[in-house]
Structure 1
Amino acid sequence: MTQPQHRYDLPRIIFGVLFIATMIIASFWVIQPFILSLAWAAMVVIATWPLLIKLQKLLWGRRSLAVMAMTLLLILLFILPISLMIGSLVDNSGPVIAWASTLGKLHMPEFVWLQSLPMFGDKIYNSYHALVNAGGAALLAKMQPYFGQTATWFVAQAAHIGRLLLHCTLMLLFSVILYARGEQVALGIRHFAVRLGAERGDAAVLLGGQAIRAVALGVVVTALVQSVLGGIGLALSGIPAATWLTVLIFICCVAQLGPLLVLVPAIIWLYWSGDTTWATVLVIWSCVVATLDNVLRPMLIRMGADLPTLLILLGVIGGLLAFGLIGLFIGPVVLAVSYRLLTAWMDEAAKPTTTLQDVARNLEES
């Protein structure tokens, strides 16, 4: 008995796929200006959702009062610090540009004091000047364009003031909406995930939420606390450009490099300038700030999921290069979610138990 052959309407399928692709591209085009702000807001809401529930219980079960309290908290934690940072960047961008423009006029130092050194002083002095005369100035001239490009890039990132403020405002607006309708939004995302991957899709949503919470609590919150405390120490010690250095501390802490990369040079500068009292105070304060990482991070990571340090470092650097300052938050989250989903998919299969020698022997025999 012959089976009836199904006839496919190929033009109908092609036009259907084209229509769906067109709608997806058009929808992405419409929401593209808001994707970064929405992703930032989603990260903040997922990380702080338990706090919202606790506030709602304390405020007589009123979600509206809890949302208002969380909005004020976000303004204090994000809007005001970023506004102060932008103001400092604007005030200090002129000297940075002027410094970058004078790099090409620098000359190698003479180091005349080398001649006063016993035994080898004259030899070191003559060798140094021979190196300078042979190519030191040319080397500096070749390096100057790269210095200028680096300074220009940082100034360009700081100059995107309107874009950063717009993202902050939209993040606050989206956060309020997600706080108010969080359960409905989460149910919609889970429904879509189940439609795509059944139970695996639902599990992927849970793993993604754990990864976001791990980055927000274990990385960003720890870096925020360390940078604020380090900035307070720098400001009280009289270090110039304390706001800039605070931002740099935050970037180093998010990248898992620690605050000492900024605090140690500041301490050396204080001792060099003769202010030994404040230098000693900053040493003690820096020890407290640096060790805070070992206490605060494990406590916060228990609320999320542990993530590799290299993953966070790549996310911070890549996010900063791809999205600017907002990429400090977006980059690690994207890599963390992808990493958690990938490891969950790999864990569905058993790990190999055979050695490499056995695998090679089997290949030779086959």
Structure 2
Amino acid sequence: MVNRHQPRDVAQILLSVLFLAIMIIACLWIVQPFILGFAWAGTVVIATWPLFIRLERLLFGRRSLAVLVMTLLLVLVFVIPIALLVNSLVDGSGPLITSISSGDMSLPDLAWLNDIPLVGDKLYAGWHNLLEMGGSAIMAKVRPYIGATTTWFVGTAAHLGRFVVHCVLMLLFSALLYWRGEQVALGVRHFATRLASARGDAAMLLAAQAVRAVALGVVVTALVQSVLGGIGLAIAGVPYATLFTVLMLLTCLMQLGPLLVLVPAIIWLYWSGDTTWGTVLLVWSCVVGTMDNVIRPILIRMGADLPLILILSGVIGGLIAFGMIGLFIGPVLLAVSWRLFSAWVHEVPMPQTDPDVLLASLNDTEEVNK
């Protein structure tokens, strides 16, 4: 009996692929508002899962209590600082916006220039000469740009509302993932195995290690340093301590450290004559500034060692691409991709042949073929 192969129905194949593509795009379109929040929640849950399991054991195996406690901890870590930041922005930007909108804003006197040794008097005199020559004209030209800049900052601050929404979604999804973490992990591994068999399962495990390394080694270290630095600023009486704390969080995530914010605050305290609190903040800054050398290596060993440039690129690129939430998601995406790429490359051994010997053998082969 002869088996005749049926011809492929090209139209059927194309329509099937098109239908699947439409379904996938439609599903992504529907869940698009929740993707960033779910990704953030997944990062948090993966990083804190060992802590959650220990907490569940301490609470006599009651998962509901463990989920409640972890959710409250996440509220303390994320929601309360965001609320303080928004309140500080509103309180601090009100007088500035009122002054600009009323047109009463004028150039400052800068009397503190006289306190600068050696050159302070000359700087103060030069500044006032500039004001006498055309201070009002300068202000008239600068005021439109100041207004535009203020409008941009206000518009950027409005994005904090979106960030707050993602934060609420993160808390909700985190609670759900804590409650059904094992089932979700098994489903993800099953899907990865369906895509690439054992290699897909191994890739998911490597991705989890990368997520934990970034979350613990980078984000947790940055949070600890910025919070402790912010406490020092608030106790020392530095104004706008909340804003400076957020700025410290950014510099710590970029691996620049908290001293970029703390050192100017120390200088300001000494300059204003408050030497006692300036000395206290100086000692506290030495502790906070060197803390990452102890905390980060311990935490990164719990996950995976990652290149510094990868973390820096993930923080900056994530901030540009996704906004404030990108500070957490950007490094994670690059770290996961790097771990998967590195595992794929190292499936084959490193080349051991000397380059000169390899080139000579290629030349000999070409000459023989001629």
**2:284 aligned partner:** 285
Task: Call closer, same or farther: CA 1:359–1:271 in 2, change over 3 Å.
Answer: farther
Q: What is the CA distance between 1:105 and its match in structure 2?
A: 8.2
Residue deviations 1:282-310, cap 9 Å, x none?
11000000111111111111111111111
Q: What is the CA distance between 1:83 and its match in structure 2?
A: 1.3
Counterparts of 1:10-89 in structure 2, within 5 Å, are 10-89=10-89
Counterparts of 1:131-170 in structure 2, within 5 Å, are 153-170=152-169
Q: What is the CA distance between 1:257 and its match in structure 2?
A: 0.6
State how far apart, in whole Å, the 1-side matches of 2:100 and 2:328 are: 28
Quick one: which amino acid aligns to residue 17 of structure 1? V
Unaligned runs of 5+ in 2: none
State how far apart, in whole Å, the 2-side matches of 1:348 and 1:153 are: 49
State how far apart, in whole Å, the 2-side matches of 1:27 and 1:192 are: 17
Task: Call closer, same or farther: CA 1:79–1:5 in 2, change over 3 Å.
Answer: same
**1:340 aligned partner:** 339
**Percent same amino acid among aligned pairs?**
63
Unaligned runs of 5+ in 1: none
Normalising to structure 1: TM-score of the pair?
0.84
State how far apart, in whole Å, the 2-side matches of 1:255 and 1:99 are: 34
Counterparts of 1:315-354 in structure 2, within 5 Å, are 315-354=314-353
Task: Call closer, same or farther: CA 1:98–1:324 in 2, change over 3 Å.
Answer: farther
Quick one: which amino acid aligns to residue 206 of structure 1? L
Task: Call closer, same or farther: CA 1:100–1:185 in 2, change over 3 Å.
Answer: farther
Quick one: which amino acid aligns to residue 292 of structure 2? D
State how far apart, in whole Å, the 2-side matches of 1:78 and 1:195 are: 36
For these two proteins, the number of residue pairs brought into alignment is 348
Counterparts of 1:288-307 in structure 2, within 5 Å, are 288-307=287-306
| Equivalent pair of 1:46/1:213 in contact (CA under 8 Å) | yes
Q: What is the CA distance between 1:25 and its match in structure 2?
A: 0.2
**1:223 aligned partner:** 222
Q: What is the CA distance between 1:31 and its match in structure 2?
A: 0.5
State how far apart, in whole Å, the 2-side matches of 1:228 and 1:294 are: 17
Residue deviations 1:312-354, cap 9 Å, x none?
1111111111111111111111111111111111111222334
**2:242 aligned partner:** 243
Does the residue aligned with 1:213 lie in a helix, a strand or coil?
helix
| Equivalent pair of 1:319/1:332 in contact (CA under 8 Å) | yes
Task: Call closer, same or farther: CA 1:231–1:10 in 2, change over 3 Å.
Answer: same
Quick one: which amino acid aligns to residue 79 of structure 2? I
State how far apart, in whole Å, the 1-side matches of 2:54 and 2:155 are: 41
Task: Call closer, same or farther: CA 1:328–1:150 in 2, change over 3 Å.
Answer: farther
Task: Call closer, same or farther: CA 1:96–1:50 in 2, change over 3 Å.
Answer: farther
Counterparts of 1:242-281 in structure 2, within 5 Å, are 242-281=241-280
Task: Call closer, same or farther: CA 1:259–1:197 in 2, change over 3 Å.
Answer: same
Q: What is the CA distance between 1:77 and its match in structure 2?
A: 1.2
Quick one: which amino acid aligns to residue 174 of structure 2? S
**1:311 aligned partner:** 310
Q: What is the CA distance between 1:162 and its match in structure 2?
A: 2.3
Q: What is the CA distance between 1:183 and its match in structure 2?
A: 0.6
Q: What is the CA distance between 1:362 and its match in structure 2?
A: 5.6
Quick one: which amino acid aligns to residue 271 of structure 2? W
Q: What is the CA distance between 1:155 and its match in structure 2?
A: 3.8
Quick one: which amino acid aligns to residue 92 of structure 2? N
Quick one: which amino acid aligns to residue 170 of structure 1? L
1-10 vs 274-283, which deviates more? 1-10
Does the residue aligned with 1:274 lie in a helix, a strand or coil?
coil
| Equivalent pair of 1:157/1:324 in contact (CA under 8 Å) | no
Tell whether 2:195 aligns with 1:196.
yes
State how far apart, in whole Å, the 1-side matches of 2:229 and 2:54 are: 30
Q: What is the CA distance between 1:154 and its match in structure 2?
A: 4.5
**1:93 aligned partner:** 93
| Equivalent pair of 1:193/1:202 in contact (CA under 8 Å) | yes
206-215 vs 80-89, which deviates more? 80-89
Quick one: which amino acid aligns to residue 69 of structure 1? V
